[in-house]
Every structure is written in structure tokens, then in C-alpha cells.
Structure 1
Amino acid sequence: MKDLTRYFYNLFISNGVSENTAEYLNVIIGIVILVIIIFIIDFVMKKVFVAIFRAYASRSKNTFDDYLVKNKTFDYLAHIVPLWLIIWIVPKLFLAFPKAEKYLENLFNIMAVVLVIWILRSILRTFRDFLKSLPSFKDKPIDSYVQVFMIFVWLIGGILVFSLMTGKSIWAFLTALGAMSAVLLLIFKDTILGFVASIQVAVNDTVRIGDWITMEKYGADGDVIEINLSSVKVQNFDKTITTIPTYYLTSESFRNWRGMMNSGGRRIKRSLLIKTSSITFLSDDDIKQLKNIEIIKDYLENLQETITKHNTEQKIDKSLLINGRNLSNMGIFRVYVELYLQNHPYINKEMTIMSRQLAPTAQGTPLEIYAFSNDKVWKNYEKIMADIFDHLLAAIPYFKLEVFEFNYNTDI
């Protein structure tokens, strides 16, 4: 090879050209020929080598090689042969120019380091995409781990490049790096915190991709679409994207709705404000009228019989309704609500169903409905809840109750 790289030099010398001129002409012609050869080899490698692997990947049932093609791994591998050829020939071609040969050798060695980093990056991205396609890894923060590996790869690559550029040993650079550790910790504080947080999130299984989380402090209310080393991306229900630093998921509180989504229903917890002055005891005529409501007819008959028996045995003076045991319109309505929910087709009967009276307020006495819809889809859930409360609001007057609302004088 040495004789081949000196061919034009010997040719010019034999034709009476000066040595200095012969050296320059030999290098120039050699560079032109080398560039042409490298372009041809690189073109052939891409057209043949890459095309073969792409054809194989398209026929293979395994999806891993498809991701290798997608991330251009074979395209980067195709550059290895041309670059190796350059690194091998350049020292022989620039034999008469040792300084230039040294600079070029370092330059192409740096290019080799960068090429190896790009190949490793494409392979790591391939593993990331492949693992995300597996059901067991689909909701795991794979991006975080890939980014951590890439940080180490770039760090090692940076050390090698520094060593090649300065001519100093790797150990000398690591020694200087140790002295700068405090500064580096400060610079990479967020990265380190994010790395630790991503491990905690994965180990403790606090957040997965696809989880619905709410973090009011940062305006996040939607589905987690990405977890990486530095941030968590949440697509809100209005289709905006909120980015939260990963370590905030371990240092601050947030709400994860996964438990609800994995349960048998979605909770309905809402109150009706009953006007307190409308709450009263029921007379016999009132009870007789309420017995026309089929859902509480049997309940009223059994309860009225029990109360009448008790008042008779105790010889209660019933000239005033307040004496003895009585039925109130609020109490009967509360029972009606529970029976209505228990018979509702979209309420989960295996979970808690309850209507309870809360402490009276200046805006009335709250009657809280607590139940779980068996459909957890947001749109359907809202429709179910709206239908329930439409019915209850319309049913309230039958019990001689009123819903509290502020009165406004429209004449003013």
C-alpha cells in the first residue's frame, strides 16, 4: 500500500519534477482518488448492504429488525468501512507531511468515535421502540433509561474526543473531572434528580404511561403520554400539553386516577341543597299520596305500620305531629334516592350506594348522593350523572321539598 500511495510521487520524480512539487502533487491526486473511492464504496454499501437488510427486515416476522431499519442503524453501520479505509490510508498518503497527518488522524478518529455513538444511539432507540411495543413494558418509563445510557455514552465519547484533541491520557482528564465534580453536580442537578425520580416512579409504580393524573399546581389534568429523564408530559383533556419535571412526582403530591379506572366504577359524589324551611313531618294524607310512588310504596306501608304500632303501644298523643315517632319528607326522600340508585341500570350495585344528609349550611341542608357509575368513560359518566340529578331535581316537589336558590328581584 505504501508503494501505491507513493506511485505518483515516483512518477513525477522520474519525469524530472522537484521533490517538493512531487510531494504536493502526489497528495492532491491521492486525495482526489481517495474521495472518489470512498464515495463509491459508501454508495455501494448503502445500496447493497442496507438494501439487503431492509429486504430481510420486511420479510421477517420479528419486529425488532423493523425498528433497526426505522432508526437507521444499518445506514450508520454502512459508514464503518469507508471510514476505516480513510483511517488506514491517510497516514500512508501524508507520510511526507507528519503534522498534517497527525491532525487528520485525530480528526478521523474523532469521526469514528462520533459514528460509534450514533450507532449506539440508534440501537438504544431500537430497544426503546421495541420494548414500548410489548404489553409488559408499554407503560414503563423506557425513555428515562435510554437517556441515562446515552448520557454515559456521550460522557465516554466526550472523554475520548478530549483525549484525542489534547493528546493527553484519559486518566489525566478523569483526574481533572474529579476536581470539577462539584461544578458538574450543580450543572447536572436536574438530570440527576430526574434519574433518581424516574427510578422511584418505576420501582414504586406511582405513574405509568397512559395514567390519568391531576396536578393542579401545574395545571395538569389528563393522560401521561411520555416519561423521560427530565420531564413528564401530560396531554390535558383540552388537548394542551403540560410538562412537569420528573422529580416533582416524588417531591410533591398529585392525584393518579388509575385506581378508579381499574375499579368497578367511577364515583358520583354530589349534593342537592334542600331549603331547610321546606323540611317537615308528613301527615297521614301526605303519606297516602306518597304511596302512589311505586318505588317506595312497600317501604312506606311497612314503616307506617311499625310507627303506628309503636305510637299506639306507647299511647302517644298524636294531636300534634311532633309527638311520638313520625315520618319526615326529607327522610322519605333520602330513602327514595337510595332505592332509585339501587334500581338504576348504570349504577354499580357491588359498590357503595348511599344518600346522606350533611350538616346544615346558610345555603340549605345538603343531601349528598354517593354511588359509582359502572361506565367510567368521561362522556358517558357525565351523561349518567346528569340524568340522575335531572330526575331527582324533578322529583323533589313530590315530597313537598324545595331546592335552595338565591332569589333575585328582577324589577330592580
Structure 2
Amino acid sequence: MTPLDLNGPDFIANPYPAYAWLRDVAPVHHLPALDLWLVSRHDDVVAVLRDAERFSSDLGNSASFDNNPFNPAMKASGPLTRLLKSLPPGRTLLTSDPPQHTQLRRKVAKAFTPRRIAALEPRIRAITERLVDDLDGDLVRDLASPLPTIVIAEMMAIPADRNDDFKRWSDDLVNGLLTGGSRIKMARSAIEISWFFLRTVRARRRRPGDDLISLLVTRDEDGDGLTLPELINFCVLLLVAGNETTTNLISNAMLALFDRPDLWRQIGDDPQLAQAAVEEALRYDGPAQGLLRIATTDVVIGETTVPQGARVLPLVGSANRDPRHWSDPDAFRLDRTAGDHVAFGSGIHFCIGHALARLETRIALETLARRLPHLAPAGTPDRIGSPVLRGLRSLPVTVRPALQPAKPLRIYRDLADRPPTRRTHT
């Protein structure tokens, strides 16, 4: 096998052959060019994700921008890096360890209880129906992207006229950090979104409501509250993570179903299969392919010692295709029991928004199968250029089937053979 290039076009297009090689030949593999350790087998990936003590999520303030392994163009010096580092620091769920992580998760968990998420279903269905009404040529642009943006904006009680800003900010941040996109756009959007949430957080502190931001700004019974930078970062994280995960999950699921029209027809006949399709899409081609960790001590994984301070990338996309754990792992099946996949992570960092992403995607698949059973791909999808985010920037579709030559209808012939109807006048 040629040297593994995580940022190369072949890997971005289809990482799964490389995952198979890693699992069989080098299950714990060091990439010197990126100074990154890859962990690819299911049991090892789960062990890393669940061991928050030896594999830290506290990447440090510099890890996001210095020597970024997922965007080599992001250098460790220069005015842009200094500008980005000048933005509000603070803890986030993704980049903190206990006890800070425990406090943060307890704070936001109130907004993602099963009861709160289930109560959103009627509204999510109404939004989806409206978006499907207007679906016209691109599944990502017209449905997969705006749906989670609208939902999270409403959860935050943000006016609908800011939805376009929300999406632009989210895309610019993700592209700049992880896909080699414009760092100038990323910096501009980082400043804009920080100022927006700064003003919003201050307003909710004065007049809290029943929305997600108000829930965050309210102090706990013991008086524990988040600092202003932490609140801003929390809002940014909820916006970006919520948008990106669900958008990619919907587009990945539909791409897999387009390749298997028989399964798409089955969902049309039995909408309850949409839930199975969501779980299988998460396992088969999940939106997150890897989750970065830092080794806090020397750790032996299998027969390999990972040194203290090493950057470790447990490949959840590889774990979900490991034949040591799954039968026929490279097949997309609706009859599979796929509940123990690690698409949303595992352990204390298990994705807190998993139920919302699942609900939005299930409703999207059900609605499309019911409303547009003849939906079909109409061009080459545009894939996100990231080794850790798996999804599409565009998915051209044909909404209606091609018109067939009209056939004479029997009813017309019968009517033509009948004598004219005698009309009477009064």
C-alpha cells in the first residue's frame, strides 16, 4: 500500500479500503508527517474513547490552530493565528475533561432530555414538509443543510432572519478548521458569531426565557454558572456541531439509499424502516470518522506503545466496519442490529445531541420516501474535503421521474364511442 495520506483525494473519497489495511496490518499506526497515531480496530477504538483519564480531550488552546493535522495549511504562526487565539477562550464539551466536562454536560443536558427532544417532533415534521415542498435540485442545499439550522435556531430562540448567517458562520468555521477552506472567512465568521452570541447571551441574562441559551445562562442551584466566554463557546459549539452532524447524516443516508433503490422502495412501503436506515447509515458511513485525543501517559494498545503526549485518532469510521465485530460490515442492510456502533462516540463524550440528530434524520427519510418516492441522484455529489468529517456539500437530485410517452387511456376511447349526451334546457 502507498503511504497513507489522510488529506489526499483518494482517502477523502473513500477511506474504507485504507481502514481495512490498517485493521489487518497496522491496527495502531503512527503517521510521522502528521505526528498522529491512528487506532482502527473496534475494541481498541472503544477502549480509547472510554478511557478519559489516559486519553484526554483537553487539546489545549493551541491544538485547534497550531499544526492542524486535518488542515495542513493552518500554520502555527502569523497574524491570522494570533487573531484566532485572541477570540474568547473557554471550556467546551468537546475539549474538556472531568470535572470541568461533568459540570458542562450537566448544564446543557437539561436541553436534550428525551422528553424535550420528543416534544420537538411535530415542529420538525412541519419544517421538513415545508422544505420538501421547495426541494428543487440539491438535497443538501434544500433540505439536509437548512433543516438542522432552522431547528437549532428555534431551540435558541434566534430570529428566523438570521438562519442564513447561522449557516454561513457554521460552514466557514468548519471549512477553515477541517477542510482546507479560507482562513480569512473563518476568522471573519469567528468574530461575527462571537459578537452575535455575546449580545444574545447578555440579553438572555437580563430576560431569560424557556430557550436553550436561557437554560445555559441560568445558574445551578449550587450557584455554579458559566463564564461569558464559556457561554459564547457553548453556543458556537451547539450551532456548528448540531448543523454539521445532522446535515452529513441525512446526505450520507440518502447517498447510500440512492445506490440501493430496492431499499429505498422498502422504506416507501414501510416508513418504520427509516429508523433502521438511520442506524445503518451511522454505522456504514457516519458523519464523524475520527475523534482526537491526547495520551496523558505511555499506553500500550495491542502490541504497540503510544507515548505520553501523543495525538491519538481513534477511527470510529473504521471501528464501525471492523469484521471482528460486524458480519458483512461493508454491506448496507436494514435488517441489521446496529445499535452498538460508535458513530456518536462512547463514554463520557458520547454525543449529547444524538437523539436530536436521529430524530431529524428519521423524519427527513420518512418524509422524502412518502412525498418523493421517485427521488433520484442527478449528478456527481460534492464531498467535504476532510478526513474526519464525512458528508457532502451538494447532492444533485431529480425530484420527479422522467416523463414517459403518453398511452391512450381506455376511458377516453369508451367516451369517444358513446353518443353525445343530450342536453335539455329549461
Place the TM-score, normalised by the shorter chain, in its bin.
Answer: under 0.3
Which protein, 1 or 2, shows the higher relative CO under an 8 Å CA cutoff with sep ≥ 6? 2
Q: TM-score, normalised by structure 1?
A: 0.24
Structure with the greater alpha carbon radius of gyration = 1
Greater share of helix:
1
